Amino acid sequence: MRPEPIPHASPTALPGYAATGQIDELRATEYRHLDTDGQVYLDYAGAGVAAQAQIRAHHDRLLAGLFSNPHSENPTSVAAGSLVESARREVLAFFRADPAEYAVVFTPNASGACRLVGEAYDFGRAAPLVLTWDNHNSVNGIREYARSSGASVRYVPLSGPELRVAESDLVVALDTGRGGLARRWGRSGRRGLFAYPAQSNFSGVQHPLGWVELAHQRGYDVLLDAAAFAPTNRLDLSVVRPDFVCLSWYKLFGYPTGVGALLARRAALARLRRPWFAGGTIRAVSVQGDWHRPMDDESAFEDGTLNFLSIPDVEFGLRWLDSIGVDVVHARVGLLTEWLLERLATLRHDTGGPLVQVYGPTTGAGRGGTVTFNLRHPDGTLVDERLVAREAAGAGFSLRTGCFCNPGAGEGAFGISRTSTRQRLLAGVDTIDQYLAALRLPTGGAVRVSFGLASAATDAERFVAFVQSTYLNRNVGAESPLPPRLRC
């Protein structure tokens, strides 16, 4: 049964909401499938939602033309290759990147973009990897490449209830060993990689883009994870110049899936050394001579045959998003996020205790449209996030529960110490639930809702109504068994 909106001022009454009315018009036409069967979509951090126009454009293009593997010179191959190159140009234009400075490498997703950098970066004793705690696992995984090359890996911790990174801690991590190792091991030029998210996919915290230049001044290349940031924020590469940017297009506009990108400064791309080659990445190769020559441009990083039938959809998606306006989407998401945070903060049990515990910023300042939290019973104990997942799904809400592939942010949010994790890991626990019990954690994750391109006021209102009607003053009861946690 659909919960009734609670009696409180609607987000539509907020100053500036009317200026984003174009989104409501699109919601009723191009995104009307969002409202079928009384559903509420609140997982834009997981995936964007495609407009009907995007699907029509894909359909019409395939029926109107004939396209084949672009690694040839026949007419259908040339047609496909032309559309791929047009998409590259559109990507650079959208991010205001100078084609002479930046290249676009198409990948399966943002994770694939991170892997390209990790496997080919020149890590070593004098070239460390520095990361913030709240990186997505696709960025955390780069540490395995770094360690296998003998590089040190340094993490910058989160501090305070807002789960932000203190710039002073970042400077210390970047400056550790500065100069000494580089001179000792005879390295010149840049000496390491700094990787961080422009926006945390756990807390919604937006880290300063100015850290790119801060790291550059200390001799680092910078990998900026923009997968959670770019869908609702303008990233201008004529102003901020990271060496590498990883993206997944379905996060920006829902379709196509299976296509991402690495935006790379050409100078930084030229310093990468791939540990292998594949079809499409080489100019020439010999079996008997045991040699190969890679391509001299971005195609040296595009393994095998590109997804040439879907990459043109990226161009349409970017133009679609541009026609709505990234700034309009940013404003709408910011208004809904701030309203949701304020409403959740007002929900209190009759005992006086809060119903909701938010992890990260509790206001709209310096954050994006991702809100992560746990619910509390009147006695202060946490409501199991698996129960929330089950009941929210039953009420038609699509949201996310668990750890969100961001262990560092979770450890910061739940106050897990480095000592305890190491001691407990040595205890030989086998399952996630045993591990949580060993750490004495009351639950195994959190609840995450996130707004995006097609979000409307009713989405936020109905969710708050659901939380209030389902969990306010609800005591711990004999719930039916919950499924075991399989991973985190």
Strands 244-248 and 260-265, sheet pairing: antiparallel
**Res. 422: pLDDT tops 80:** no
**Res. 180: pLDDT tops 50:** no
CB 92 within 8 A of CB 102: yes
**Res. 32: pLDDT tops 60:** yes
Active-site annotation, residues: 405
CA distance 413 to 202: 10
**Res. 188: pLDDT tops 70:** no
**Res. 131: pLDDT tops 80:** yes
pLDDT of residue 6: 46
For 447-482, the pLDDT digits (tens) are: 999 999 999 999 999 999 999 999 999 988 767 788
Average pLDDT over residues 109-123: 96
For 190-217, the pLDDT digits (tens) are: 579 999 999 999 999 999 999 999 999 9
CA distance 347 to 362: 14
CA distance 340 to 349: 18
CA distance 101 to 237: 10
For 352-395, the pLDDT digits (tens) are: 999 999 999 999 999 999 999 999 999 999 999 999 999 999 99
pTM for the model stands at 0.93
For 223-249, the pLDDT digits (tens) are: 999 999 999 999 999 999 999 999 999
CA-based Rg of the chain, rounded to a whole angstrom? 24
